[in-house]
Chains A and B, each alone.
Chain A
Amino acid sequence: MLTPIEWWGGLLFVLGFACWRAMLQPDGAADDAGPDDRFPWLVHLTFLAPGVVLAGYFYPLQAPALQYAYAATLALAVALLLWHAGMEVRDWRRAGPEAEPGDGMATFLGFAMLYSPLLAACVLGCIKAWPLLRPWL
């Protein structure tokens, strides 16, 4: 093993990679998402930032500079995730009258499955960064 990443962290990475590939597919889940078409690099960053956060979770970040960098990456990952979630909710509301009755739940489940690895990475990052962030909050 070249890294101290645990097996469950590896599973999260694999799931995240699969979701990222699914997003990039022409007929993928986010194909009709407007903002993703306009900012394709933002989609990559949305997956890359939680990936860095997840990898950092398994390393002892002793130096203060590393801790601040970790907190900044975490903030970026959370912000991107919230932005994506906001866009998805906006699109869902716009398509509200045309949507079929069961569509709302299906969209929510699909969204939850697609972004759950990212959410898990962000939660783990928050747990790790909590001692650093506590004095600020």
Chain B
Amino acid sequence: MSQNAHTLTLFFEPPLLHRQFQLLLQYLQRDDAGNTARWAQELGGVDAAQLWDAPARFNHWFAGHRTHLVYGFETGTSAPVPWALLEHLGRHGLRAAVMEVFYDQVCERERYHIDAGQWIGHREWLARHPQHRALIDPEGGIYPPEGAAPGPAPNPAPDCTLSDPARPTPVAQVAAQQATQAREARETVQALAGLAAELRGKGVSPVEAVAGFAVLGAGLKGLWHAVLFTIVTALLFKGLWLWLGLGLLLAVAWPLFYMHRARQRWEGDGDDDDESASDGDGGTAPKP
């Protein structure tokens, strides 16, 4: 099964905070609930569940170093980038971070650079933290060489995309946008599912209902065109009664024409489906 592997290289300041987060992550890795709760409390109420046990995360691993912490986990391919986690850590003293997502479906990586609660470009991040360059790119194959001319230089690592925002953006804003999009998508799916269930309850096929809406929309479009035509022509040209009469005729003809065309389109699609279904089933009737 394909997965996305997330690797977070975290830089905490001051060193005491770095050490405390190292202990917290170590205890989380050992599944030591007592010490985890103690250090989470010590760090000002870090949400250990969000840090480690968020839904759809698995295969966690952690490596503590003197200067930075590396925390990794895997998710499904549809899981979003963990901006909420970075925003939460930012509120508890995270100074800088580099987040790498490896999409094993396409064998490509993507990197995001965070500093002082903001998602920034990789050039700016490296300029602010030149001492960390060797830590996040030990083999020197990901970032353009130091002193390279600014501008869209060719990326030395073709399988790694450096995801830079157009301008520095607060991580909280990105996380909020992500949460809003997720909520809207969920609500849309729920609304559609509810509508489909309601229609099914009334004995109406959801497909027929959607086709009905499309035909109704086409009729309204035709009516709007006729109204627009009447207003423009009556205002611009002489012969008010001619344009009013013509507009009235079009107000009947255009909606009928558009509705007929929309109906034909839907019926045409249905015919195609039927043909393909009967082809696939060797001539048997298509299943509902």
Contacts and interface: CB of A to CB of B under 8 A. Distances in A.
Question: Chain B interface mostly helix, strand, loop or mixed?
Answer: helix
Contacts of B238: 1, 4-7, 10
Contacts of A62: none
A3 B233 contact: no
Given A7-B242, A10-B243, A2 B236 contact: yes
A13 interface: yes
A9 B236 CA distance: 10
Contacts of A3: 236-237
Contact of A6 (B234, B235, B239, B240): B239
A88 to B, nearest CB: 29
B229 to A, nearest CB: 8
Contact of A2 (B235, B239, B240): B235
18 contacts: A1-B234, A1-B238, A1-B240, A2-B235, A5-B236, A5-B238, A6-B238, A6-B239, A7-B238, A7-B239, A7-B243, A9-B237, A10-B233, A10-B236, A10-B238, A10-B243, A13-B236, A14-B233
Contacts of A1: 234-238, 240
Contacts of B239: 6-7, 10
Interface of A: 1-7, 9-10, 13-14
Question: Chain A interface mostly helix, strand, loop or mixed?
Answer: mixed
Nearest to A2: B235
Interface string B226-254: 00000001111111101100000000000
A2 B242 CA distance: 16
Nearest to A5: B237
A31 B268 CA distance: 24
A33 B239 CA distance: 37
Interface string B206-238: 000000000000000000000000000111111
Contacts of A5: 236-238
Given A3-B236, A4-B238, 6 more contacts: A3-B237, A6-B237, A7-B237, A10-B238, A10-B242, A13-B237
Nearest to B236: A3
Contacts of A6: 237-239
Contacts of B240: 1
Contacts of A13: 236-237
A6 B236 CA distance: 9
Nearest to A4: B238
B184 to A, nearest CB: 34
B238 to A, nearest CB: 5
Contacts of B235: 1-2
A59 B236 CA distance: 14
Contacts of A4: 238
A10 B234 CA distance: 9
A3 B232 CA distance: 11
A44 B272 CA distance: 37
Q: Which 4 A-B pairs have the closest CB atoms?
A: A7-B239, A10-B237, A5-B237, A7-B242
A13 B239 CA distance: 14
Contacts of A2: 235-236
B253 to A, nearest CB: 13
Contacts of A10: 233, 236-239, 242-243
Nearest to A55: B236
A5 B243 CA distance: 13
